[in-house]
Amino acid sequence: MVHDGAVSAEDLENYETDMELALYREYRDVVGLFAYVVETERRFYLANKVDLQVRSAAGEVYFEVSLADAWVWDVYRSKRFVKSVRVVTFKDVNVEELVQPELAI
């Protein structure tokens, strides 16, 4: 295959697929370190502390979510581990507590 410097649609698709697979593998490796899964309209997070507040302003209801010790599902972020995150959204927020397997001695 000869390239003139341009990236083909197939090359781009393969690159994106590889990035998503690497992100999934990272998620699989770190999920056991976290207590919660948080899903918003734009992002997916793992976190060890979650504070979800329902707010209202000018008749509109919105959600404010504060996360501590978090990991962000975002293929384009170079650093996915963050100390704290504050998310404001007008869409529903899903928070699930992860069940960690018992440690066998």
Q: What is the pLDDT of residues 73-89, one digit of tens each?
A: 998 888 999 999 999 99
The reply to whether 104 falls in a domain is: no
| Domain span including residue 86 | 9-97
pLDDT tens for 16-71 read 888 899 999 999 999 999 999 999 998 999 999 999 999 999 999 999 999 999 99
The reply to whether 89 falls in a domain is: yes
pLDDT recorded at residue 30: 95
The reply to whether 103 falls in a domain is: no
Placement of tokens 């992860």 in the chain: 98
pLDDT recorded at residue 24: 93
Computed from CA positions of residues 51, 90, 96, 45, in that sequence, does the dihedral angle turn out positive or negative?
negative
Q: How many domains does one find in the chain?
A: 1
pTM of the model: 0.78
Report in angstroms the alpha-carbon separations of 71 from 2, 13, 39, 53, 67: 40, 25, 12, 20, 10
The reply to whether 105 falls in a domain is: no
pLDDT recorded at residue 46: 97
The reply to whether 1 falls in a domain is: no
